[in-house]
Structure 1
Amino acid sequence: MKRIVSILLVGLILIQTSDISFDDIIKVQNLYEHASYHKKQYGDSFWQFLSEHYGNKTSQHQNEHKEHKNLPLKHVQDGLHINASFTTYACNFNLQSIISLDTNPGFFYQESYTSHKKISIFQPPRFA
């Protein structure tokens, strides 16, 4: 049971980090249709198709078809926002600590709470 839950959680994390949305899942049909078009028109294999649309040849092939906007994973997410604050005013704090060297060697701890009936559980151990 632990193994199944861990596999499901790893799968969920991988899907979320790869930024696949529900809209991309719907556009898989467009991917298949466009790949079929490339196979009929140009004789491209599926791997060549992926290279032209998602790989090294993307910049060369991008403007040839208007259907490229409908392919999955072609959206840009700019959901990362970083709040940065900059201060230009330099604050200099001069802290002077006062160290008291007065020690009272005659100080002994006195118990602040006393009870007439002390419970034996909370007493220090007694040595016989």
Structure 2
Amino acid sequence: MVKLFSILMSSLMLVQSVDITFSDIGQLDEFMEHANYHAEKYGDNFLVFISKHYGELKEQHSNDHKEEKGDHEQLPFQNHCHCYSSSSAFVINTFSSELKSLQNPEDKVTNFYYQLPSSSMHTLGLFQPPQFV
């Protein structure tokens, strides 16, 4: 049960870190239809299609095919803003370059000393570990 819970929680963190929403999952059919459209009209394979819509060819493809703008807006994973992730790296700590001298523990005077137990329970063996007979 613990393993199942840990697998489910790690899967949840993975999905949340990729920022997949239910609307993106609902738009996967438009994604597949548009990929098939590119395969029929332009002869693009799946990797070229991904590059044209999410990769390095995205800007060139959107400039060349403005008539497909409505179809491109319906594709999943288009509405993400990752600008919030950089705000957590803001630290306001000053660095002090002064080194403090270490004290030798032998130089300290301690008030600790050990005194043998003098109560009768210790002498009778009441607080002793069990003995084998």
Smaller-chain TM-score bracket: 0.5 to 0.7
Aligned twin of 1:5:
5
Provide, for residues 12-44 of structure 1, a one-character-per-residue CA deviation record: whole Å limited to 9, x for no partner.
001011111111011101101100100110111
Aligned twin of 1:74:
78
What's the CA shift for 1:47? 1.2
- Alignment partners' CA distance in 2, 1:18 and 1:10: 12
What's the CA shift for 1:46? 1.0
Q: Identical aligned pairs, as a percentage?
A: 39
SS at structure 1 position matched to 2:20: coil
- Alignment partners' CA distance in 2, 1:78 and 1:42: 32
- Alignment partners' CA distance in 2, 1:68 and 1:126: 87
The one-letter code matched in structure 2 to 1:23 is S
- Alignment partners' CA distance in 1, 2:83 and 2:61: 27
Task: Note the 1:31-50 alignment, pairs <5 A.
Answer: 31-50=31-50
What's the CA shift for 1:126? 3.2
Aligned twin of 2:105:
none
- Dislocated runs of 4+, deviation >6 Å: none
What's the CA shift for 1:78? 6.4
Task: Note the 1:16-35 alignment, pairs <5 A.
Answer: 16-35=16-35
What's the CA shift for 1:55? 1.3
Out of 28-37 and 61-70, give the one that drifted further: 61-70
**TM-score, length basis structure 2:** 0.58
Gaps of 5+ in 2: 91-116, 124-133
SS at structure 2 position matched to 1:73: coil
Q: Which is helix-richer, 1 or 2?
A: 2
- Residues paired across the two proteins, number: 90
What's the CA shift for 1:76? 3.0
Gaps of 5+ in 1: 85-124
**TM-score, length basis structure 1:** 0.60
Computing the radius of gyration from Cα coordinates, the structure with the larger value is: 1
Aligned twin of 1:126:
118
